[in-house]
Each structure stands twice: as structure tokens, then as C-alpha cells.
Structure 1
Amino acid sequence: MVRKCEKGECQMTTRTIFRMGLALCFFFSFLLFPSTVYQETKNVIRIAGDNQFPPFEYLSDAGVYSGFNIDIMNAVSIQTGTNIEYYPMPWNQAVQALQSGQVDAIQGMKKTEARKGTYEFSVPYFTSSQAIFVLKDNMFIRKVDDLEGRRVAVQKGDVATDLLSRVKQVQLIEADNQQEAIQLLTEEKVDAFVGNRITGQYFLQKSRQQPLTKIVGEPLDATDYGVAVMPKNKELLSVFNKGISRIKGDGTYQKIEKKWFGEYIMPYSFSLRQTLLYLEIGLALTFVIITCVLWWNRSLKKEVGRRTKQIERINKELEKKMVLLEGNVHFQQQLLNSAYSSFITMGPSGNISMMNDRAVEYLHLEKAIIGTSFVQTPLAAFIPEQEILAALQDKKVFLQKETVWIKDRSEKRNIVYSISPIQTMEGDSAGVVLNIMDITEQKELERKIAQEDRLRSLGQLIAGIAHEIRNPLMSILTYTQLLPKKFDSPEFRIFFSRHVTSEITRLNALINDLLDYSRPKKSDPIVFPFYEMAQGIVHLFKQKVKEADVVIRWEFDGEVWAIADVQQIKQVLMNVILNAIEAVEKGGIIIIRGYYEEAKAVLQVEDNGRGMSEEEIHKMFEPFYSKKLNGVGLGLSVTYQLIQENNGEIRASSREGEGTVMTIWLPGCRKDENDVSCHGN
């Protein structure tokens, strides 16, 4: 336990004793080595330093230049017999004085890469680091990169200026000393202060403003700290290097360091200070009792030690958790603010508890609306209150619901919203999350695309119909024109009746296909096995399979049951399997697979035929598109519509010269071995 001294009595006593010791050392050095001391002290070294940089160097209230650096230089002066004159001034003036030759050295300067090209440095006698100081309630600044676009206080000429030069759009507010820079922070004139870690804490403790601030992030720019001279005075460094080496060797440096930093009280949490206060009271009582019961004192000491370690461990864990919590809150806020959607949370009573920046901007709200009831906000104009209450009370979820918001009585906005309940770990309702997205532009774009698609499809359909009807009509016209000339020929009459009838039948089949394409009948879904249906269709094409010398392979993962209209799916499989047979060359292979994929029954027909190009794949389901010589181009179009009618999906993948895979997904189910009913997959 470090006793705090009243009105600087400990500091003055320590300083007085130390100076007396230095004087005695100098006196004995003069007696032992009079000629040497006289010769070395006849030259005076002018040293500049900061006048407000405690505890390193500062002018006390009594006007005495004191500090860690001063004691180090005094010790070096005694060890080397060098006479030193001190010139305390603001830091930026000290740097200018050194560069202009008004002084010979600066007693303490950080040895940075930028300064190495300007100054020469002694061996380091300290390691100095910078820190970021922010106000206690600041949750957004955690590291140097977070200072982008912020107002940051620094001391004129300090290395913090170089450190912050890589931060974009940072606004540097320069002060004559670090005390003024810290005052700018506590007065909320800047967002952060970057400066010496120890000096900053010194000023905060001295002004009793430490509870208002905190240090964030890791120590910055830990750098060697030593005496700096201009290159022309480089020979002076041998004096300082010799003195520093000697005071480190004889223990003087350790005493000076302990004097200025050994009793430095680092900040503790309130709970630890309170615990230590109780511990002091307990120790005082124990001291009274120890005279009576020695054995009880020993056991109490052990218990106190154990509890102290436990408390320290708990406090460290709490500090780590607080840092982690602050980081998580900061990350979550950034995540919400970066989202395209508007996020709003409400508490159990329906009051607004949080909004991201997107919601504030879109709804033209203000942060002051936090705590206001939901019904008193613009949200009540398009979000039903009963849905909010249902989510709060019954934990109901409302996903992707569309609505219209009449904004400013003239502007109509299409909105999609979702309402999700927030629950505690125990399952109790803690509020709701409201996710809002404006889809007005998306709706308009979908309308335009649908209109263009309808016009394009109509044009293709009309062109296809004209092309398909023109061929048989031209044949009929030609035969009819020849009829007057060749009517007496029995062979022509037989030819005419056969071919005209064939062309009319072709026209009738085309009209029927068009009717199937435009008005597919409503499906009547039942449960059926994929394998048996596919086998039956392959059996129908048995002759074609034999003529093409095609090998059919079956790869079914057990029984695969689907739910769809049997007749429509038969028509689909006939088109798909027939296309595969016609696509392969002699001796080709067709693989028919069946399996489950989650809740879907899947049938896959793979061939090693000629395959299709990307353009053919994109157009294969369009009406009147066919690569066959006599094909109409409605087979796959009708197939696509039938699959859609049965809540399924069909997709093709192909590469030219390697074959094609047609995959069909339909609603599936699994049947128990002894149960004819179908259970969901």
C-alpha cells in the first residue's frame, strides 16, 4: 500500500535528499579527481526541455524545473563532470531552439524514423509510448483508424502529429502543451487526445478528471527515448552516453526511475477501490486483534490473501468482458448502419429502443424519438398495430409482407417489412425487430421487365405460328393450283387426297399444341413412384432404343415418391427421354437417376450426346424454338409449363460434345414400409 503524501511533502523530501546526495558525490569527486572535474566542468552544455511535460520535465508551482529527465541529466552531470544549463520552454519552441543553435541538446526526445534524418541521439534511457484518450462514454473510437474524420488534440511538435499523418481527414487541434490538449478533451471541444501515455494520466489525476476519460487501444508507437543533438554537435553524445552507462551501472538510474514511476498509481475500477478500502479497515481491526490471538491472525492473513487474489482475478475478467462488450456493441452498430434496410427495435411496451442510420434517414426521424411509443411515429401509417402486438405478446413472426405507404399525401411508396420477436435466454419476450425495405423502384423495374418479356414472347409466338402454318398452307395451295390440270389423273387425285389430308392433320396438331401451351389443364396431384413411371415410358420407346442401340442405366436411391399429376408428368418424361434418345449417337448411354433432395423428389436424365451451346440452353424452353428438322418447338415449352403447374422445377446443364443433363424437381414424400400413407420428407 502506497501512502499518499499531503501537499507534496514526500516529493520535496525525496528531491531534497537526492540533491544532497548528488552534491556529496560531486564534492567527493572533486576531492579525489580535482583536475579532471575542473577541466570537464569548465564547458557548459545548454539543454532545452518541455516546461509542461510531467512527470518527465515541468516547472513546479514554486518555479523549480523538476522531473525524471532533470534528475537523469543531473546524475549524468555528476558522473561526467559536465556543467548543464536548463532552458525550459514549450516543446515546439525547444525544437526550434535546437535547430537554430540557441541550445546544444534536448534532454528527452523520442527516436522516431522521421527524426533520425534530422537529429543524432544518445543511447536510450527510457521507452516512451503514446496513447489515445477519449471521454468515458465514447463507444466509437477503439484504435487509430477510428480517428478518421474526428477532431484530435495534440501538442505542437509532438510525434503524435507524424503518427496521425496516415489517418484520412483527421482534424488536428494543436495546443502548446499536453495539459491544454487534455483540457480540450474534457471540455468536449475535441473527440480525442493523442499524447504521452504517462503524462496524460498524470494531468488527469492531478486535475481529478480521470473518471471522465479512458484510454482505448494498445500502447502506440513505443519508441526509445534519449538525448537529441544536431549533427554538428554529435561529439556531445559521447558525454551523455558515458554518463547514462555509468548511472545504469551503479544503480542511480534505478533509484531515479523508482522515485518518479515506482509510486505511480495506475487507475483501478471503483469496485476494486471500494474493496481495498474495506480491506484496509479489516487489516486495521486485525492489527488490534493480533496482539490477543496470534493463531487467528495467521488464518485471517491467508484468507485475506486468497480473497484479494480472487477479487483481482474477477476484476480483470470484468475488464476484459467490458472491453469485449464495448467492441461488440460498436461492431453491431456499424453492421446495422451499413445495412441497406431500415432496422428498428422496440421494447416490450412497444416503445422505440434503437434505430439504424438508414431508418432515421428514410423515415425523416430524429434520434430523440428513442423511447417514443410506436403508435406516435410514422410507422403506424403502414405497419398494423395488431401485428406488432401479436409479435410482442404471442411471439408471432411476420416475414416479407408487402404494403403501401402514402408519404406526404402525394408520394406512394411500396414497402416490404418483417416483424420478428426478440426473446431472452429464458424465452420471455424482450421486444421486436422491425425490418423495412423500400421496393418502389424494384416494383417499377419488375413491371417494365414483365411488359418487355410479354411483348418479346408474343412476337416470338406470332412469328412461330406464322412460320409453322405457312408451310402446310403453301403445300395445300400448290396441290390445289395443280388440281384443274391433273384432275383426270387418278394417281394425282390419290396423291392430292393423301397429302392434303396429311397437311390439314399437321395444322390440327399444331392448333392442339398451341391450346395445350396456352391453357394447360389444372393438375390433379397424387403420390406415384418415379422409377415405375420412367420404366413404363422407356418401355414405350423400346423400338427407338433398339434402333439407336442406346444403353439405358438406372441409378435410383431406393424408392423415390413424388406428388404431381401423373398424366402431365408422363407427358413431361416422354419429351425429356425422347429428346435424350434422339440426341445420342449409335451406342450412346442414357443414365436415369432418382433421389431425394431435402423435401424434393428428383429425377435426372443424363445423356452423352452432342450437347447444347449456352444460347441453345437459354432458348430451349421458348415456344417454336427447335433444332430438329421437322420439330415444331412446343414440346419443351409445354413441358416447362406442366412442371410449373405441378409446383416443380426443371433445369438443364449441357456442354457441346459432352452431353446434356435434364433435372426435374417435384414435391416429394417418403413412405413407411408398412404404411401406404405419405409422410413429409
Structure 2
Amino acid sequence: MILPETASADVAVLPSKQIDHPPAKKVYRIAGEKHLPPFSYINHEGRFTGFSVELFRRISEEEGVEFRFYPMNLYEAENALKEGKIDAIMGMKYSAKQSEHFQFSEPYFTMADALVVSKYASIKSVTDLRGKTIVMQEEPVSFDLLLNMRRVEFQLALNSRDAFNFLLMERADAFLTNKWTAQFYLEQRGEQGNYRVFEHIGVPSDFSAAVRPGNTELLSLINNSLIQMQEDGSYKALYTQWLGLHPEGRLKEMRNWIIFLLIMISCAVVVLIFIYLWNKRLKREVDKRTAALAQANHQLEIQRRAIAEAHAFKTQIIHHLYYGILTFNESLQLTSLNERAKAMLGLEEKETVKTEEVLGQPHIARIIRNYDSFQEDEGEKQLFSEEVETEVNGKKRFILYRLIPLYEEQGRKNGCLLTMADRSEARVLEEKLATQEKMRALGQLIAGVAHEIRNPLTSMKTFIDLLPRKYEDSEFRQELLKHVPEALKRMNTIVESLLDYARPKHPQKQKLEAAAFIRSVTAIIEPTIKKNHVHLELEVEPEWEMICDPGQLKQVILNLLLNALDAMETSADKRLTIKAEKQGETGLIKIIDSGIGMNTEKISHIFEPFYTTKPHGVGLGLTLCYQWIKENNGDMQVEAEKGKGTTFIITLPAAKKEGE
């Protein structure tokens, strides 16, 4: 057998020129288990280490000898020691049977066997091992312990690492080892949460070094060193480093816990005494609390009066509001109304108003009937609003009625609130403002027409003034024939657009399938889109229809697409997106470009006549588009940001499906 040798203790090497050589250290060959962490094992760096290894390294340093370590399995170490290939085995359990073949040193550790089982297994104690399979390293002491148990199957492994792998592969129900080795492997594999460790299985065994019979020199060296290390505290430090708190430290910790428990008991006694004294004081406090309750009742009475005064104050406010307020219960019986409501209904002279007198008003009776249309399961706030023209005390009045349902805390409908607002003065002001707005728009329109027509007229007047003097000039005649027809054509375009704006055509509405219609419109302009290297995206919701004039809508979409292409002329990223989707009873068509965008000032004027940002534009294109959409009961909005593109949003009525 060729023994693998690990790195031995450091040996000082003298320079080659030195003549005197120190006497060579005596070398001993020490074997140890290579898979018994944390006592002796080969770590991830390939170094043979552990508590036993470091203990014997310390012995070699103290005694001035050299220990050469040979990691191997236990049965290999026993055979090597019997054959004289090694001098000692460190970390071997003492047994009477083994003492017939080897001599053992004084124990430097005491350990008992532990059992590792899955936490999901039904093993709660050693008696539950019957009929189970136990995997273990071949070791006489532990093996003799389990031989006394009936109906237990054994599976032997070469070392503790292989035995632990058998347990992980579920080839065994339990793994017999010591608790330190078990904890090491469980932490290394991250399996602490899946396995339990039962400690103190069997009788504790001495952990010693074994030598060949008659090797008293090495045995004495080990024993003396162990005694010395116990005395100077180096053994205790090594124990704490590798195995945790030393037993003496545990005793000290236990004493601390006992002291802590005594302190806690003392505190509990003090608390009990305090509680007893407190109970005596509690009786005296009851009388004080009784007096305090009487005082609290007095304060509650004061608060009740304050609440009553606040209620009266709120009632005065409600009665003097500008709006008329009426409330009805679930049976539509009048429960309250304020003074303003009486005045608006012409009932201010009556002290008590009955439900029949209120519902006798034709408009109120018709509006109250909408109460049954409110759905109780709708979470959003519901409201019915209508403005009615009526005559009160011989005067024409405009009354805005609002019917609002009232709900209990549990969400059940239990009545309604009717408010009345006199909007007669507001309507007069609105009519005045509308007239002013029309005059302003007319003035702006006239100014725009004058501005647009003045430019070609100026050009024509210039040519007419020069005609008598330069008629014979051929170049002049060519310029005349070039610019005058263009000016006339521009004037004709302005007049025709203005006529279309002033005398709109009645739309021929019909149902249009949104997806097919938008694809047909984009097919017309697709060559221009490809020519300008624009990426077109269509996001159209299928299977919904809209109601509008197809010719007008086609003209609107084409106009917006051409405007989008002009806006993206200088953009690096040219993207044009058309989105169409249905939202309730309406449908939305969004045309989104990645062009230069607009600021807030331009957006506010975008639909005004003769307002344009193009060098040769008339300024009526978007105005006509807006008017056409309005004629089709729709709406058009624009969202834009300077440098980030523009979005036009067209809203049109959506066709209802059959049965709706």
C-alpha cells in the first residue's frame, strides 16, 4: 500500500552555505479519517484539516517532532497500523475489542452517536427504527450498539460522506454518525430544514489516538502534550474554534441562565405584590371613576344641546340657500323642502306643503318618475339633470332640475334629492356672450377672407398697372400669364372653401365597419407613405361599426394623414399610427404622428378659419374637417407637445348591435 502524504508541519531550511546542520526532527506517520468533518477532512482547497489534525499539528510543534498526515478511510488506517506502515491513528473510538490490537492514548474528546432522519419521516425515537434501514460507516463501537436492536437493517459505507449521500438519495431511512459531522454535512448541503438530528444515541465513547503495541515513546509524547494543552488553555481555544463553546463555557452559560431565571422569578414575585397592592388601590379608584362618569354625563348633555343648536343652524342655512332643495323617501313621499323651493314652486304662503301639491307641478312629476331608473348595483354616482323652461308668477324662467338618489350606509337606495336652480339670469348672460362670440368670429372670418384675397388682388393690380407700359415686353407677358391665373385660382379656392364652410352639405349617414373603412382610406395614401419612408401602424379593434357620412369621414382622415406627413418631413423617426376602438356608445379614431408637434398657443387656434402654419396653406382644411365631424354628431380634439408629435382624436357615434 502506498500512503498519500499531505503537507506536514513547517520545517526550517538553513542556507546551503552553512556548515553545521541541526539534527533532523523525528518523523511520525499519523493517519486520520479523510471524511469525518469537523475532526479530520479535506477541505475545498485540498488541505487536510480539522480539529484532530490541528490538535496533532500543535503537538508536533510543542514536542519538536514532525507529523506526516495520511488521510484515508478508517478500515484502511487500521490495516496500515497493523502492518506498520503508519505509526498512529488519530480520532479513533476506544473499544475493548480494539484494545486487543492497539494501545490508546488518553481521550481528547468524548462523543455519542447521533441519528439523522428526514423531518417528514415517522421516526420519533430509536424504537421507531425497527423495520428501517440505517446507513453508517463501518465502525465497531456503533455497530455493536445497533446489533442489540431487532429487525433493523444495516447498510455500511466506506466513510461518513458516502453514508450521508445514501441518506440524501433515500437509499436509507436514517444515518448514524456524531452530531458535529451531521451538522457539518447538513449545513454544507443546505438541508438543515429537511432533516432532524437525534442526539445521544447510545453510550458516549472516548475519542483517542491509537498506536501499535509497544510504541510507548509516541504514546507518552501524545499523552504528555494533551495534559500540557489542557493546562495552558490551548486545547480549550482549539476546541472553541472548531466545535463551538467548550463544556466549561456551557456550564458557565447554564449558570448565567439560572441566574437569569432567578431574576425573572424575583421580578414575577415583585409583580404579584404590585398587583395585590394595585387591587387595593383599584377599589378606591372605582369611587373616583363613578364621580368621573357623572361628570361625563353632564358633558354629554352639554354636547347634546350643542348638536341641537348646530342642527338648527344647518337648517337655517338650508332654508336660505339660493337653490331649492326637496327630499323624497323610497315611496316618493315628500320628506322636506326649504324656503327657496317653496318660493320657486309658488307655495311660499303655505305653512305645510303636501306631497300632492309638489307632484302636482307637471315638470316635477315627470322628473321624479326617473327615480325608478336608477340601478342600486352601480357603484358610480348617478344623476339625472334637465333644464326646463317654465312660467312662474307670469315671468319666463329657466329652471335646472337635478335628481340624485340617496343611499343608506349598506348601499340600499332609500330615497332621492331634487335640487332646483334658477338659471334665467345665466341664460341671458350666455345669450349675450354667444352673440359677442359670433360677432368676434365673424370679424375674424372677414379679416381672414380680406387677408387671403388681398394678396392675389395685389399681385393682379401690380400687373394691371404695368400692362400699358410693358405690354410689348414678351417676358412681362409671360409673367402675366403665369401669375395672374394662379392668383385667380387661389381666389377661387378660397371662395369655394368659404362656401363649403358657410353652406355645409347635409351628411348622408350610414353604418361603416371601422376596420375595413380605415384600411380602404390608408390604401389610397399608402404610396405616398412609402415614398416618404414613414412606418405605418394600424391598431383597429375588429367587429364594430360607426355611423357617419363615408365621403366626409374619408376626406377628414386623408386631410389629417397628409398633415401628419408634412409634420414628419424633417423627423428622424417617422412613425404614423392609426388606432380605432369602441368605447361604450361611441367610437374613437386616433391619428398619431411623430412629427414636430405644436405648442399650446397653436393648439388653441388650430380649428379657426384661415389659421395655418404652412407657407402656402389657406387655413380652412382643419376648419372644414371639424365642421364635418360636428355635422356627423361627433367631436374632434387635438393633443400635441412641441417636438414630440401630434395626436388627433375623432369621436363618432357607434352603431348598436341587434337587440341593444
Q: TM-score, normalised by structure 2?
A: 0.47
Larger Rg: 2
Q: TM-score, normalised by structure 1?
A: 0.46
